[in-house]
Amino acid sequence: MKILVPVKRVVDYNVKVQVKSDGSGVDIANVKMSMNPFDEIAVEEAVRLKEGGKATEIVAVSAGVTQCQETLRTAMAIGADRGILVETTEELQPLAVAKLLKALADKEQPQLIILGKQAIDDDSNQTGQMLAALLGWGQATFASKVVIEDGKATVTREVDGGLETVALPLPAIVTTDLRLNEPRYVTLPNIMKAKKKPLETVKPADLGVDVTPRLKTLKVAEPPKRSAGIMVKDVAELVSRLKNEAKVI
């Protein structure tokens, strides 16, 4: 079984981004970039399926600028066998990424595609769902457990107030939630090995996909600043302020 794992290069989760002064977006010049954390979980899950004898090949895919090669090398250091970079400087929105992944899925014929549930930069949570629709495959989103057996995937999903278990025939789409696994540390020998793994580069046009953005960002703004807290001298004052000033009780 071949597994395709899309991995996105995003601003590192430790970086506090600044909104550009013209409100057109966030400033990502000279900030640390890393693999989207949910995608690390996706690669880890694919590698565990391969180690468990359920998968034979893992192909990591990243769409974006040339530097996405680094993200693909990280995926290969975790254990992906090869990488495909869909190179473009165009701003990529979820529908465009889903179309690119659909074209690659048609070519590569994977039995399973494991994506992150969302990219932590624009928090869209759309690509996996759109890809499932374009391919006409079943999807299990927000997975916290994946079992592959007898040509089907049994996936436990994190839903409001509990867990839901669904079974879906392969090929299928799975998107990862935080509790699916804890990705391994990337070791130096594996980073060195990853440098020798095959990395193919294609352009959106090679896949016959038009990635022109469909949505326009009107404005990006910082959340309002929280005002400072106040000290109250006793419970009576607290209750009085909650009642009369905050008007919450």
Q: What residues make contact with ligand AMP under the rule CB under 6 A?
A: 6-8, 36, 38-39, 61-64, 92, 94, 97, 115-116, 118-119, 122, 124-128
Taking the least distance from each CB to ligand AMP, the nearer of 116 and 204 is 116
Cβ atoms 184, 46 nearer than 8 A: no
Taking the least distance from each CB to ligand AMP, the nearer of 77 and 97 is 97
Cα distance between the two ends of the chain? 58
Residue that the structure tokens 């090679």 belong to: 206
Helix (H) or strand (E) holding 100: helix 94-108
Nearest to 25 by CA among 216, 226, 211, 224: 216
Q: At its nearest, how many Å lie between ligand AMP and the CB of residue 21?
A: 25
Taking the least distance from each CB to ligand AMP, the nearer of 126 and 144 is 126
Q: Return the amino acid letter for 125.
A: N
Q: At its nearest, how many Å lie between ligand AMP and the CB of residue 211?
A: 10
3-state helix, strand, coil in the chain (%, to 5): 30, 30, 40
Token digits of residue 207: 């896949």
Of all residues in the shown chain, the one whose CB is closest to ligand AMP is: 116
Taking the least distance from each CB to ligand AMP, the nearer of 197 and 241 is 197
Q: At its nearest, how many Å lie between ligand AMP and the CB of residue 61?
A: 6
Q: At its nearest, how many Å lie between ligand AMP and the CB of residue 85?
A: 9
Taking the least distance from each CB to ligand AMP, the nearer of 102 and 229 is 102
Q: At its nearest, how many Å lie between ligand AMP and the CB of residue 175?
A: 7
- For residue 88, with 0-12 CB atoms within 10 Å meaning exposed, 13-18 middle and 19 or more buried, which class applies? buried
